[in-house]
Structure 1
Amino acid sequence: MEIERTDKQFIPNATRNSVLYDLNFRGPLVKRNCTDVICLLFFFIFLIIFGFTVYFAQREGNLSKLLVARDSEGFQCGKDSEVVNSTFLFFFDLSKCADPLVPINGCPTPQKCVSECPHEAFIHDKTKCTKDIAEYKKKLICTRHVDIQSLKNCNEIDIKIQNQECAQWYLKSEPLGNRCLPTLDDIGTIIDKSEEMQKIFEALYNIELFGSLNGMRQLIVQDTINTWPVLVGGLVISAFCSLIIIAIMRWVAGPIVWLSITGVLTLLGTGLFFSYRQYDFYSKKPVDRYNLQPNLKSIINSYFIEANTWLYILIGSSIVFLVILLLVIVFRKRITIAIALIKEGSKAVSSNLTTILFPIFPWILQTIVTVVSIYSFLHLLSIGKPIYKVLGMNESCLCTGNYSSIQNGDLCDPIKLHDFCGSQSDGLKCHMSCHYTGIQPPPIAIYFKFINVIGFFWLLFFVSAFSEMVLAGTFARWYWTMKKSDVPFFNLTRSIYRTVRFHLGTLAFGSLILTICRIIRLILEYVNEKLKAYNNEFTKAVMCCCRCLCMCLENFLKFLNKNAYIMCAIHGKAFLPSAKDAFSLLMRNFLRVIALDQTTDFLFFLSKLLISLGTSACCYVYLTSEWFPKHFPHIFLHYPLAQILFIFILSYIIASIFFNVYSMAVDTLFLCFLEDCERNDGSPDRPYFMSKKLLNILRKRNK
């Protein structure tokens, strides 16, 4: 047995790889040095650059370029002098907007700024035009280059419509986001008389979908305003329930864990029986799937009437059932340790109640970072010159001068294009137009966008790391105090001070590693989108493997970083030594790590789901029951399920904030527990710091 000598007095431990006993160790060190100072300086320099990026974006950018509607000539409706009195954008032919998100400038149809949206439906009809051409011309909506009053007969009007210089049809519309969207009051009239019925019907279907979603959105907003007291009450209930569950978990953690495991095995067993019944039925009575209707629903259902499908499900379910059952049998003792640690985590959180509210502060910081980054990125997107490209160029178009050799996709000037290009004299119709397609950013704006993305992820990961280390220091101090009554009253405050004073560099180092990994993932996603155009199966397989490996690497780094922060909070070492110590300690207790991680995550998920569903159910009963209106003011709701969904999501977020603290407490105590097992032996000089419950489970005791 080898004795390692250092400046401190050590007692030899059982193995060389175990943590050696330190006579002077009494938990998180009070006297420590600053860690990873170089990375901290680099982080401060980057913050200055990021701040300048935000300033540059705010100074040079103009959100009106992105938000204000533009017509086909690039004029900003209601902004530019040519269209200062025309604040609404009108689309000539919505049948070409084969997308539910119709009101976008990229729609390949002429667009014009108008002073008001149409008050009635219109469709080109030569019969009506012949009867009263003066009244007919009042309904025409044409481009700025067409003098409607100079049109002498219906043939000239028909030519302008075929050249897409005037709208062939439109519906009664209302403004939404400065864009004219149909109200769908006269759909039947348009469909019955349109010569391009199928195309217009598809466009109107998309418009109807968008219009209904918009109306639903407005009603949901109104419902939210009316029910805000109920929403607040639901959040208070979810927060209160989270505190109650955390408090009582020290007594019922065991039954809940074993009940959850039993429930999963029962569900899998039921699935096995059902799969066998279905396989036996369809193997004896095959069904001809080719006689089914050729639609998506029938195609999907056809796979579930084949015996082989149920055979595959049966085999997969059997493997999962056996694996879980064997893991439970092998890890039954370690699951018991996990339950005890969960109870210890409940005690630690209950003894440091201020930690429950602490995550609200990092959450506010992350919200600020997100808002600032999005605000800066949008301004950066608006920096540059507008780009106009040719659309609809064909053999019928005749251009002269500088546009004699122009083709589709070439850059153009929307004003000059009409002076140099038009239809051929032999009667062929040219439908060419010059459309606004985006903004050409300068190179410096591209660099600033990249800096903005890096700053967004780095700051988010940094704030998250700060929260983890502060909580780790708080709970580690609680664990390594033999008499829990001796834990300092301002335990959380002291942990915040230690983190800010000594370890911001370590947080910057760990968050930078995650940022680099996330940027690589974004680059892979970008490359994957570009490679889709080639439709190469080999490249798809390679990219899929790369993305999967990168995702696994990021998850591993998150796990390693969290444990490195815990070790840094305890021993005050830099990031790399802390990560090395944490990884070595966890690998020496690999089976315990698996049992604890999966068990606690599953239990916490069930708890959060229980709180969210319970809160949503209570609010749903209050909003829809006939009994409550007799005793409380009645609230009429257009979409009550939408409000229940809001309550469920917000309740889950609130519960996650509380249980993330609980999860961090368990992770910290687990690492402390592993080190306690290796560092001490229960003798009077080296007593265990773990609770009596854990000592009994491990069959150990303090002498």
Structure 2
Amino acid sequence: MEGCCGKVSSPEERRPKPWTVDRKCTDLPCLVVFIVFLFILIFISAFALVYGNPLRLVNGYDSFGNTCGTTNEILGNLSYSGMDMTDHPYVFYFDMTDLYHSLRICVKECPGERLDSLQDILSFYNETGSLLCRYDYNSYYVHPDSSLNITIPLTSPLGPCPPPPIYASSPVLNRCVPKRAQGVSADIIYNLYGYLNSIHPLQQIISDLYSSWREILGLVFFSVGEPCPSNLYTIIVISFIMVYLIYVLTALVAWIFMATVSIAAIVLTSLLWWTYGSIKAELDITPPVEILVEMAENETAFLTLAILSTIATVILVLVMIVLRRRVALVVHLFWEASACLRDVPLLFIQPLWTFLTLLLFFLYWTAVMIALSTANHAQKEDVMREIHNAPSNLSHSILRTMDSGETSVLDEATALQKEFSLMKFVDPLWIQYFWWFHVLALIWISEFILACQQMVIAGTVAQWYFYRDKGGVRCMVCRATRRLVVYHLGSVALGSFVITLFKLPRLFLAWLKRQLKKQEGLCIVEWALKCCHGCFYCLEKFIKYLNHNAYTVIALEGVDFCPAARTAFGTLASNALQVAAINSVGDFILFLGKVTVTAVTGLVALLIMKGDSQLHYYAVPLVVTCLFAYFIAHCVFSVYEMVIDTLFLCFCEDYNTNDGTDGREFHSPQTLFRFMTIDAPDSLQQERHNHNTKSPGNRETRRLDPSVM
């Protein structure tokens, strides 16, 4: 494979003769690496789905490994594991002063009133059916024979029943949390909320994504019924509506997008400020000891989002004011793109396949990530209840049952020194490496799917440009897809991996910046990290744009990715000002369309998720929904974006290679040729009209006149 850097070939050496030469498989080693990567991902996914349990993260679990609110499987020979907890959705702690080491059980209902004795606990059980004692409570007897001089601890942090008093509580994050009332010590409240706040934020975020997946799916894909009664339109439908407006109302589309995005951005910004104000007002009236970290972080998150949205709205409005005079340029570009789409309407369906593929991959990736975050290692711990004043010659204990009133004799080892095993879940360090690999898979495979779409569109548009007058417009999309699958998957894998390489340093810099925030006096380092982050962002954008055009060259000439990227770079560099004009106006209008879809989706998502009390950081599902919305809208709008970029590159190749003479006729549509050379020098005026002035011997590589901007 040739290097990515080198001398750009002259037009004479590489006249575009697409589909007339024998093609070969391009960048085959990269395809092999990508296939190996997929096999490793499949292994990690199988591991996560086998050993993970997302409900354990959302619902909580007891001390015996049972997940509350669902059925469970037996864990080895552990007692009381594998129980059906479908009717026991809440976690109850025996010792509120030491939640980390307290015995936990799943209960049907949290105690709604204070229980001061064992008899009160039993009365609560008789009334509600919610037993607050250990699961083996009914298997032995609770009243010792009065002749025995022993003390059997029937209420203790290890059971069989919790030590009174038991405070009135209510479910918080599926855990029974004491209500703020007289008699509840501040230490208990502080310890309890401190324990809830100690749950890893990543686990809470993943729990939110798992809890709100229906809403996210409904906002992204289809209108949902019960969870989302407003019957939301899908992002894909909204995106196609915007594309259809471009197709039908080409002359007005720029103004429509400008007005829509301005209104949507202003409304979204106002709603974010209103949400921040409501959260802050709620925190102001909440006692400090009852404030969850997630509540405070929600306030910070929405304040940040509101500020960023305000800044973005102001910038968008100012940019639209500056670019309003260049709408005519956009109209001409979209006219030609619409002509191509009119001849090849199947291009409109291409984003739908990309969307469905991305949706399936996102669902798969999210499910595996949730399962991977709960693929903990189960660790067994044996404990023994401590029996006080037990005589050495005691052989049996006579106890009376609470259920039948009968008398039974139990062995001292099982009754007085009851030994049982507890279960705790430990996070192995190597699981975290799986997480990072899974994040890498998200970036690379997503970029690979998008790159496949770009390659198909580039191949279709390039064929339309050069062969539309020769009856070669039939099945163009099918032909381009076949060439991609048979010849160019390796090039697509390499191009998407190059983008991934520029994304990973940005992720690392973001993580490093977060770590440095814990230190003081490192302002210069943080500033340097921000500069590096911005540089990588700009490089990533440049590489993405170069990749688009490299795929066009690959479709035209069938070369490897690096030579194609070099060729595309040389062509774009020779027409830098014209490229800047197209990107500054045309791509900005398309960006406004993406922002419109994202803003509308974000508005609806915020209204739905704000009222969901089961979410910890509902700002996170909101951001995820908006990211999905923008990503999917990008797939749809990239049709026009890719068509415009491909047409421009094809025109440059055509304009630099041909001169309008016999055998070297221009392939450009006359309207596009007139527009792109509208202010060309006088020597090219006749060529602009009839495509036939210059002689082959005097032909030279020409740059488009930048005054078209």
- Normalising by the smaller structure, the TM-score range is 0.5 to 0.7
Contact preservation (8 Å) 2:550, 2:568:
yes
Q: How far apart, in 2, do the equivalents of 1:420 and 1:157 lie?
A: 10
* 1:145–1:501 CA distance, 2 compared to 1 (3 A): closer
The structural deviation recorded for 1:91 is 4.3
Kindly report which structure 2 residues correspond to 1:614-693, keeping only aligned pairs within 5 A, or say none. Answer: 656-693=634-671
The correspondence of residues 249-260 of structure 1 with structure 2, limited to 5 A, is 249=249, 252-253=250-251, 255-257=252-254
CA distance in 1, matches of 2:124, 2:255: 78
Partner Cα separation in structure 2 for residue 473 and residue 144 of structure 1: 66
- 1:20 corresponds to which of 6, 11, 28: 11
State whether structure 2 residue 335 is matched by structure 1 residue 368. Answer: no
The reply on whether 1:32 has 2:17 as its aligned counterpart is no
Residue 514 (structure 1) aligned with residue 499 (structure 2)? yes
Gap change, CA 1:239 and 1:61, over 3 Å in 2: closer
**1:566 corresponds to:** 552
Matched position secondary structure for 1:517: helix
- 1:441 and 2:428 matched: yes
Aligned to 1:193: 182
Change (3 A) 1:235 1:526: closer
Following superposition, the deviation at residue 600 of structure 1 comes to: 1.9
Aligned to 1:225: 225
Q: Which amino acid aligns with 1:494?
A: R
Aligned to 1:496: 481
- By how many angstroms is 1:470 displaced? 0.6
Q: 1:515 to 1:677 in 2, by over 3 A?
A: same
In 2, are the aligned partners of 1:20 and 1:678 still within 8 Å (CA)? Answer: yes
Point out where structure 1 has 5 or more consecutive residues left out of the alignment: 1-15, 98-105, 267-292, 298-312, 388-412, 422-433, 619-644
Q: Matches of residues 200-211 of structure 1 in structure 2 within 5 Å?
A: none
Q: CA deviation at 1:469?
A: 0.3
Partner in structure 1 of residue 695 of structure 2: none
Q: How does 1:239-318 map to 2 (within 5 A)?
A: 241-242=241-242, 244-249=244-249, 252-253=250-251, 255-257=252-254
Gaps of 5+ in 2: 1-6, 147-152, 197-204, 264-280, 286-309, 389-420, 605-622, 679-687, 693-709
* TM-score, reference length from structure 1: 0.61
Instruction: Write the letter of the residue equivalent to 2:428.
Output: P
Q: Say yes or no: does 1:600 pair with 2:586.
A: yes
| Residue in structure 1 matched with residue 40 of structure 2 by the alignment | 49
Q: Counterpart of 2:62?
A: 71
- Given the alignment of the two structures, is residue 340 of structure 1 paired with residue 332 of structure 2, yes or no? yes
Moved more, 659-668 or 537-546: 537-546
Query: What's the secondary structure of 2:104's corresponding residue?
Result: strand
Deviation at residue 73 of structure 1 after TM alignment: 5.9
2:224 alignment partner AA: T
8 A contact 2:102–2:157 mirrored in 1: no
Residue matched to 1:407: none
Tell me, in whole angstroms, the C-alpha distance in 1 between the residues paired with 2:383 and 2:427: 20
Report the RMSD for the aligned CA atoms in angstroms.
5.8
Give, in angstroms, the shift of residue 26 of structure 1: 4.6
With 583-592 and 70-79 compared, the bigger mean Cα shift is at: 70-79
Distance 1:227 1:524, change over 3 A: closer
Pairwise CA distance, 1:111: 5.2
Which amino acid in the other structure matches residue 416 of structure 1? V
Distance (Å, rounded) in 1 between the aligned partners of 2:577 and 2:183? 71
CA–CA distance in 1 between the matches of 2:349 and 2:48?
A: 35
| Contact persistence 2:337–2:643 (CA under 8 A) | yes
Is the 8 Å Cα contact of residues 450 and 635 (structure 2) preserved in structure 1? no
Change (3 A) 1:592 1:328: farther
Q: Structure 1's 65 and 94: CA in aligned 2 closer, same or farther, altered over 3 A?
A: closer
Q: Structure 1 pair 363/510, CA: closer, same or farther in 2 (3 Å)? A: same
Whichever residue aligns with residue 439 of structure 1, its letter is V
CA shift at 1:365, angstroms? 2.7
* Matches of 2:664 and 2:60, distance apart in 1: 74
Residue of structure 1 equivalent to 2:509: 524
1:161 and 1:167 in contact (8 A); partners too? no
Tell me how far apart the structure 2 counterparts of residues 201 and 597 of structure 1 sit (CA, whole Å): 56
Asked whether the equivalents of residues 29 and 571 of structure 1 are also in contact (C-alpha less than 8 Å), the reply is no
Cα 1:158–1:19 change in 2 (3 A) is: same
Mark the CA change 1:552 to 1:31 in structure 2 (over 3 Å): closer, same or farther. Answer: same
Aligned residue number for residue 355 of structure 1: 347
Deviations 1:256-296 (A, max 9, x none): 44787799999xxxxxxxxxxxxxxxxxxxxxxxxxx9x99
SS at match of 2:225: helix
Describe the shift of the 1:364–1:436 C-alpha distance in structure 2 as closer, same or farther (beyond 3 A): same
* Secondary structure, counterpart of 2:79 in structure 1: helix
Deviation at 1:350, TM superposition (A): 1.6
SS in 1 for 2:674: helix
Kindly tell me the number of residue pairs found equivalent between the two proteins: 551
CA distance in 1 between counterparts of 2:100 and 2:641 reads: 52
Partner of 2:616: none
Percentage of identical aligned residues: 24
Deviations along 1:180-210, whole A, 9 cap, x unmatched? 568xxxx9xx545344479859989x99xx9
Question: What's the CA shift for 1:534?
Answer: 3.0
Q: 1-side partners of 2:441 and 2:30: how far apart? A: 15
**C-alpha distance in structure 2 between counterparts of 1:69 and 1:318, whole Å:** 45
**1:408-439 Cα deviation digits (max 9, x unpaired):** xxxxx754386699xxxxxxxxxxxx997742
Structure 1 pair 534/615, CA: closer, same or farther in 2 (3 Å)? Answer: closer
Partner of 1:398: none
Amino acid aligned to 2:503: R
The letter for the 1-side match of 2:37 is F
Aligned to 2:706: none
In 2, the alpha carbon distance for the partners of 1:460 and 1:683 equals: 45
Q: Matches of residues 70-89 of structure 1 in structure 2 within 5 Å?
A: 70-72=61-63, 74=65, 79-80=73-74, 82-83=79-80, 84-85=82-83, 87=85, 88=88
Cα shift readout 1:589-648 (whole Å, capped 9, x = no counterpart):
222222212322332244466789999999xxxxxxxxxxxxxxxxxxxxxxxxxx9999
